Amino acid sequence: MPIAEHIGKADWKTEKHVPVIECPDKVQADQPFDVKLSVGKEIPHPNTTAHHIRWINLYFQPEGEKFLCHVGRVEFGAHGEGAQGVDTGSIYTNSTATLSMKTKKAGTLHAVSLCNIHGLWEGEKKLTVG
């Protein structure tokens, strides 16, 4: 079975696991812009030792090209673990990050996140260049 069949897709407004991509719809060619990634924007995702987002990967599919480009990966390492047990620690990371990138071509951004319980989830956003 292809890996794509194991990646959940849904509207991030109704599914807390889908990564949200926020950036301008149109960018200037070869000029840096920020891409904000988050999981749980509309419906908060738990961030506990037992249930959390481990990472988000960002990819870009340039128009007319066969392969995806891996833009970056963000890992979230603190989920309340502590010496006294689960959810006893004082540090919790939020499942948000901002990456900076630039492109000469329009295309589609793809974000893939991993929930330690519910697996892989994907969000996408079209990007135009002008």
- Output the DSSP codes for 47-70: -SSSS-EEEEEEEEEETT-SS-EE
Catalytic residues: 15-17, 45, 51, 115, 118
Sheet containing 96-101: order of strands: 19-22, 33-39, 96-101
70-116 per-position pLDDT tens digit: 999 999 999 999 999 999 999 999 999 999 999 999 999 999 999 99
Confidence of residue 1 (pLDDT cuts 50, 70, 90): confident
Question: Looking at domain 3-129, which of 1.10.10.10, 2.60.450.10, 2.60.40.730, 3.40.50.720 is its CATH number?
Answer: 2.60.40.730
Give the Å distances, CA to CA, from 19 to 1, 8, 14, 40, 123.
23, 11, 12, 7, 5
Domain boundaries, the chain: 3-129
Q: Give the pTM.
A: 0.93
